Structure 1
Amino acid sequence: MQTVLTAKLKLNTTPEQFKALRTTQLAYRDSLNYVSQYAFEHGKMSNAVRLQDATYEEIRLRFHLPSQMACSVPRQVGASYKTLWTKVKNNAVHRKEGKTKKRYKGLDKAPKFISPTLTYQYKKDYTFKKEQQVSILTLEGRVIVPYTGYNKHVALIQRGAEIGASKLWYDKPKKQFYLLVSLAIETADPTPETHKQVVGVDVGMRYLAVTATMQGDCTFHSGKQIVPKANHSARLRKCLQKKGTRSATRRLVAISGRERRLKQNTNHVVSKRIVLQHPQSLIGLEHLTDIRERTKRRKGKNAKQRKANRTFSKWSFAELHSMIAYKALLHRSMAIKVDANYTSQACPKCGHTCKENRPNKGLLFVCQNCQYTLHADLVGARNIAMRTLLLRQDWRGTGLLSVRAFCVGR
């Protein structure tokens, strides 16, 4: 089994190399916007092959991009339009089912690419050299740049890990270029015999993650120190957006970067703790796809209702899940998705499910049938662990790990 990692390499450029890379980035972004406008004017086209046939020569002549980059631009634009079309179709289904009244407006005008991040193809646009150097293609030809990075990632590159595409990312506040390289490494194939322990992970705002095993062990990862900082950033962002000046916009950019790094670092710490505490385990995660459409949200435009709705979308739980998944494979464990419905309302002892099991939607769980009492988030983690155990038993009996059989929609 292969696990994909992203190595972040710091490029130590000279002033001439810095200028060449920056010029290439801006030309790449301009070409993305040109192809995006062309696709919008021709029926909001998402077919990458047709886009490449129609715009390739113009990209080469107008923006002077090398051939491989000129091929990457239509692919990226086509992928963006496919994503937008998927959102439009899903929105139409949700409006028909009465889940929302808002119409998705992502394709009302041509999508504009703001980030200058560009994509490089390995062995075509960039290659690695000896002594920690990388050869990168620019509009003026190739430049050889020394790089530094995390020791383990550098060792994987030098020892023959499977290298994929990369992205040239520019950190504007620090005026620093980074190369984000995709690495695929081989990990052992999982079997029911190697994954004997079962762990359930419940995510939330009071506690970012709560883990439970079938042996009764549990761990709480609190968000008490992190969530107030995120709330402060939200209030500050609101004030700056109302002000609308150029200096306020600069502060918004700095705050968004700080908030993103805070959440990313917290997710890294929590995911690492969970994986290291449970080696060689089958880790069950909630299937949170379309959670916003499946949960009841308050309607209206007053402050209390907006604040309540924002609570549902405050933390990047998908990022936390993805970090747990790839780190689990590196430590001979595996993460799978299980049905997330009613995990906090179902009694893990007798199975009785109702909203009244959680009085006032608080942290106390009291079963109305058997009077079983426990922390509500721990109840969710135990229910997830039991559903994961069912998957493992089915895996052991049939030899196939099937999640769909246990993902029951509402």
Structure 2
Amino acid sequence: MKQIITAKLKLILTPEQVEALRHTQLAYRDALNAVSQYAFDHGKTSSVTKLHKGMYAELRTRYHLPSQLACSVERQVAATYKGLWTKLKKNAEHRRAKITKKRFKGLDQPPHYVSPTVQYTYERDYTFQRDSRVSIGTLNGRISVPYQGYNKHLALIREGATIGDAKLWYDRPKKQFYLLVSLSIEMPDLTPAQLQEVVGVDVGIRYLAVTSTTTGKASFHTGKRVRHQANHYARLRKRLQKKGTRGATRRLRRIEQRERRLKLQANHTLAKQIIKQHPHTLMGLEHLTDIQERTKRRKRKRKKNGKGYEPVSAKARKTNRVYSQWSFAELHTLLSYKATLAGSLAVKVDADYTSKACPMCGHTAGANRPGKGLLFVCKQCQYCLHADLIGARNITMRTLLVWQDWARTGCLSITPDASDREAKAARLQRYAELRWSPEVTKQPPASSRRSLTASL
């Protein structure tokens, strides 16, 4: 099993080296925009071969890029257009299914690159040297510079971790260059017997995460502080944008990354807490897709004065902003790679009806959550519990089912196949037969699996 991490290396540069790297960054960004315009003019192509035939000579002569950097520019633009075409096709499917009415506009204009980040290929554009030095390619040849970094990452580089591509990134507030190096670590393959516990993790906004084990042990991780800070930055941005002065623009630039760093720090801390609380576990996460479209508040159907529809209220706009900035995918990514490094394993299960299905009797209905609040009350058996804990328990049972299939067949599916509707329907039918047994909470983890298996 391979796990990829990123090592952030601080480059110690002279003023001449800073200028050389800055010129390289700007030329690379200009080349990206030129190739993007060429691809747009030639049928919005995502073919690397066509871009290479049409732009390679110009990249070498006009922008003075080395051969490998010119090829990196073409590959990066092709990957951008390929991703846009994928989003366009997905949007067409959503419009046919009436999930959304908006048309995808990403291909109406050529993508414009603003960030001057440069992509380097290992052993072609950059190489590591002795005495903590790295050789980096510029427009005028290689330069050798010393670097600093996290001790564990430096040890991995010295001890032979598989080194991949890197990105040259410039931190504008600190006026500092960093080299972000991709490292691939070989991890031992796990077996079902090595994972002593099964944990389900339900993510949300009021509570960033709620966990539950098969023995009923639960933990709540609130997101109140992060939510209030995010609302503060939203109000501050609105005031500054409305003011529109040069000073307000400078202030916006200073705070533009603060909210992102705040949420990243909160997710890092939360992921470490969950991994530390549950060592050597099979961790179940929800396979969440299209959250923004499914949770978006839309215009009311009732007409206003017979002329069009009523606009979205201020409360609905705030709700849309909160959901659009929900960083659950970042938290899932951090949990996945931290679990692998700690000897655990994270898998994803279907998220359908996890907050609507009663784990005791199996009754599934939206009315089980009155007002979509934090209280879950089953309309059939009157079972009452915290709604997020209900979701965590349903995820735990589905993850336990994955563990049992893994132990029986020897094959593990990390992510459910959402494209096969028949397979998903069969999985949902199996999930509907799961029941949470109160006796499970009185037994150790090993026997809890057998007890819960008997209640399926």
TM-score scaled by length of structure 2: 0.87
Q: CA deviation at 1:406?
A: 5.4
Quickly say closer, same or farther: Cα 1:99–1:406, change in 2 above 3 A: closer
CA distance in 1, matches of 2:87, 2:378: 39
User: What is the 5 A alignment of 1:54-93?
Assistant: 54-93=54-93
5+ residue gaps, structure 2, are: 300-310, 418-422, 430-456
User: Match for residue 114 of structure 2?
Assistant: 114
Q: How far is the alpha carbon of 1:223 from its aligned partner?
A: 0.9
Structure 1 CA distance for aligned equivalents of residues 182 and 107 of structure 2: 30
Q: Does 1:335 align with 2:329?
A: no
Given candidates 393, 398, 407, the residue that maps to 2:409 is 398
Q: Over residues 267-311 of structure 1, what are the superposed CA-to-partner deviations in whole Å (9 max), with x where a residue is unaligned?
A: 100011111111111100011122233446333433222122223
Partner of residue 175, structure 2: 175
Judged with a 3 Å threshold, the aligned counterparts in structure 2 of structure 1 residues 29 and 296 are, in CA distance, closer, same or farther, namely: closer
Alpha-carbon contact 1:199-1:213 (below 8 Å) kept: yes
In the other structure, the counterpart of 2:442 is none
1:283 touches 1:333 (CA, 8 Å); kept in 2?
Answer: yes
Contact 1:135 1:143 in 2 (8 A): yes
Whether 1:322 and 2:343 are equivalent positions in the alignment is: no
The answer on whether the counterparts of 2:202 and 2:392 sit within 8 Å (CA) in structure 1 is yes
Give the letter aligned to residue 321 of structure 2. R
Residue identity opposite 1:120 in structure 2? Y
Deviation of 1:100 (Å) = 1.2
Partner SS state of residue 44, structure 1: coil
The equivalent residue for 1:192 is 192
Q: What is the DSSP-based 3-state SS (H/G/I as helix, E as strand, rest coil) of the residue aligned with 2:62?
A: helix
Question: One-letter code of the match for 1:177?
Answer: F
Shift of 1:409: 8.3
Contact 1:31-1:63 within 8 A present in 2 as well: yes
Tell me if the contact between 2:297 and 2:317 (Cα under 8 Å) persists in the aligned partners: no
**1:19 alignment partner in structure 2:** 19
- Answer whether contact 1:263 1:315 (CA < 8 A) is retained: no
| Counterparts of 2:195 and 2:337, CA distance in 1 | 16
Q: Does 252-261 or 174-183 show the bigger shift?
A: 252-261
2:374 corresponding residue in structure 1:
363
The AA in structure 2 aligned to 1:170 is Y
Give the match's secondary structure for 2:288. coil
Q: CA 1:74/1:19 → structure 2, altered by over 3 Å: closer, same or farther?
A: same
The CA deviation string for residues 319-338 of structure 1, in whole angstroms up to 9 with x for no partner, is 10000000000011111111
The answer to whether the Cα contact below 8 Å between 1:350 and 1:370 also exists between their aligned partners in 2 is yes
Distance 1:93 1:305, change over 3 A: same
Residue type matched to 1:87 in 2? K
- How far apart, in 1, do the equivalents of 2:384 and 2:214 lie? 18
Tell me how far apart the structure 1 counterparts of residues 43 and 290 of structure 2 sit (CA, whole Å): 28
Cα–Cα, structure 1 residues 162 and 24, in superposed 2: closer, same or farther, change >3 Å?
same
Aligned ranges 1:1-400 → 2 under 5 Å: 1-295=1-295, 297-299=297-299, 300-400=311-411
Moved more, 53-62 or 217-226: 217-226
* CA drift at 1:370: 1.3
Closer, same or farther: CA 168–409 of 1 in aligned 2, 3 Å: farther
Can you give the 5+ residue segments of structure 1 that lack an aligned partner in the other structure? none
Deviation at 1:191, TM superposition (A): 1.4
- Alpha carbons of structure 1 residues 409 and 309: separation in structure 2 relative to 1, 3 Å: farther
**RMSD of aligned residue pairs (Cα, Å):** 1.6
Contact map agreement 1:211 1:219 (CA 8 A) in 2 = yes
Where 2:192 maps in the other structure, the secondary structure is coil
**How far apart are 1:97 and its partner, in Å?**
1.6
Q: Which amino acid aligns with 2:402?
A: L
Q: 1:188: how far off?
A: 1.2
The CA distance in 2 between the partners of 1:210 and 1:261, in whole Å, is: 22
| Kept in 1: contact 2:297–2:312 (CA 8 A) | no
Deviating more after overlay: 63-72 vs 288-297: 288-297
For the residue of structure 2 that corresponds to 1:98, the secondary structure is coil
Query: How far apart are residue 371 of structure 1 and its match?
Result: 1.4
Cα deviations by residue, 1:125-171 (Å, 9 ceiling, x for unpaired):
00111111111000111111111111100100011100000000000
| AA of the residue aligned to 2:26 | L
Judge conservation of contact 2:202–2:210 (CA < 8 Å) in 1: yes
Q: How many residues align?
A: 410
The CA deviation at 1:45 is: 1.0
Task: Kindly state the Cα deviation for residue 315 of structure 1 after the two structures are TM-superposed.
Answer: 2.1
Residues 236-264 of structure 1 deviation map (CA, whole Å, 9 limit, x = unaligned): 12222333333333322222211111111
Q: Which has the larger radius of gyration?
A: 2
Contact 1:298/1:308 (CA < 8 Å) preserved in 2?
no
Give the C-alpha shift of residue 360 in structure 1: 1.4
**Structure 1 range deviating more: 399-408 or 20-29:** 399-408
Counterparts in 2 of 1:18 and 1:318: CA distance versus 1, 3 Å: same
* Distance verdict in 2 for CA 1:344–1:217, change over 3 Å: same
Equivalent residues of 2:283, 2:347 under 8 A apart: yes
Find the residue that maps to 1:63 and give its secondary structure.
coil
Q: For residues 176 and 184 of structure 1, what CA distance do their matches in structure 2 show? A: 26
Corresponding letter in the other structure for 2:149: G
- List, as ranges, runs of 4+ consecutive aligned residues in structure 1 with deviation greater than 4 Å: 405-410
Superposed displacement of residue 54, structure 1: 1.1
Between the aligned residues of both structures, percent identity stands at 64
Counterpart contact for 1:135–1:142, Cα < 8 Å: yes
Q: Matched residues in 1 for 2:155 and 2:112: separation? A: 38
